[in-house]
Structure 1
């Protein structure tokens, strides 16, 4: 977009009482942010669902002055900006009705042609949680995914550091503008993240520090990813909000289970119990359930073993697939009368035995 178009988009983005969903509705009706700000108030009131309270913060001249000031900050700091209708706006986030109309970015982020997963969890992560997170990223490394998180204490920074260690692209979504870094102790990782991914934010440099911003930030973490993975969580926490948002976007959610007496596992256990997440007991569950394939000519071919012994439940799935060609995970679970998480685990065992193979789109077939 042109500089003038961006300034109008910024002005609309920063209008009190007009969130991203309403802003998109106004843009769809008027044609552009500039047209919205120049439209007569009485005409805007004719739009279904738009009332005087929503339009009370729409003050064109004041907003344009603030937008111009923020635009100067953007230019001075070489911040990249993407409008929600632009080609460089994250593809998956475009499908989220409440995604920000303007997204700010630093670094060298490239989400095209890549698997993108978010990893979230407790800020006070346990040693077991750290070990699982590191093993997860190491296992996913051959699939070359982009690892997204929130740059916070605990799980977030563990995921970012693990991605950097395995030379994976990592993206940190911030709950504030690019005029600061929180927590400050993580400043030492900024340049490395920028070199191997970068940062996303929807917040202006003038935005005050507000804990509510962390909840808004979570929808970006969930929205840019094809799946959200919760490592650890207490009964309540920001990572559960991210998981709920991902679930509402119809994205896959994974949760690492724990003992019922562990407070840091209560959130994950509840996600699994209420069928909002796949139970993640092995890092291999993620590429298996998502149907990922390693993009390499040197990928080993799974050979079917002779005289393979199958368990009774494996025989049920094997016989179903043998008589029904390729089938998706959900269909297999329904016809075999088993929970999806159990079928996923059994299929993984059968794949290692060389009797089935995963295909794109969560399909599976007998070898």
Structure 2
């Protein structure tokens, strides 16, 4: 198996045999999370997504998503804004992009990560590919975060797959009356996802610890010598220089 093949995939029973990529992807010894959600995201959930990633910045996670409308592209753009690596998982070959309006983000994603797909460039584009693509998204990470989803949202399928891989799933709860929170509430109610109210919940669950970099600086000692002490000190320096002591 190629050394660049994602380590997390090696533990998935239905991992892709071939995986195509473009960009500057480096998943080696990285903290990796999936962020997904509805394409029709509300403004307060978009803000939650942005603040969530901002809080995680010191831990340098890789943000994976589907490069779709709504929460997906919000997560990936926010990752780029905070100099975090991000990877978009595509439901088609690398010779095209969907949605086309997101073509303008391709260069920045490739510079800060890149794209994965297991579809050949000769494969015909079909909307059924999005369902097949979800196992690629779900298999890459330690945890899947569902920011917002309707009762029958596609994000729920993405959340169901990591459960089958024995990976963590977290969902942001919402008010029962909010249509775009019912999917998340249902995941939590069925115990298919843990409650996520802040980035601290994820950090605690995954036991992420910031890397400590301690710089040890040797202090210079300043000693004031008397005249006779200076003579002795100079004498000892000369003795040491001539290997006499």
Shorter chain as denominator, the TM-score bin is 0.7 to 0.9
Which of residues 161, 177, 181 is equivalent to 2:97?
181
TM-fit CA distance, 1:297: 2.2
Q: How many residues align?
A: 214
Please state if 1:261 is matched with 2:177: yes
| 1:183-332 mapped onto 2 (5 Å cutoff) | 183-297=99-213
Give unpaired runs (5+ residues) of structure 1: 1-84, 299-367
Which of residues 75, 85, 88 is equivalent to 1:169?
85
> In structure 2, how many angstroms separate the alpha carbons of the residues matched to 1:177 and 1:160?
20
TM-fit CA distance, 1:217: 0.7
Please state if 1:104 is matched with 2:32: no
Q: Which residue of 2 aligns with 1:127?
A: 43
Please state if 1:118 is matched with 2:34: yes
TM-fit CA distance, 1:206: 1.3
Task: Please give the TM-score of this superposition, normalised by the length of structure 1.
Answer: 0.58
TM-fit CA distance, 1:204: 0.8
Q: Which residue of 2 aligns with 1:78?
A: none
Q: Once superposed, which parts of structure 1, at least 4 consecutive aligned residues long, lie more than 6 Å away?
A: none
TM-fit CA distance, 1:282: 1.4
> In structure 1, how many angstroms separate the alpha carbons of the residues matched to 2:89 and 2:191?
27
TM-fit CA distance, 1:113: 1.1
Q: SS of the residue aligned with 2:199? A: coil
| 1:132-171 mapped onto 2 (5 Å cutoff) | 132-171=48-87
Q: Which protein, 1 or 2, shows the higher relative CO under an 8 Å CA cutoff with sep ≥ 6? A: 2
TM-fit CA distance, 1:296: 3.0
TM-fit CA distance, 1:284: 1.2
Give unpaired runs (5+ residues) of structure 2: 215-245
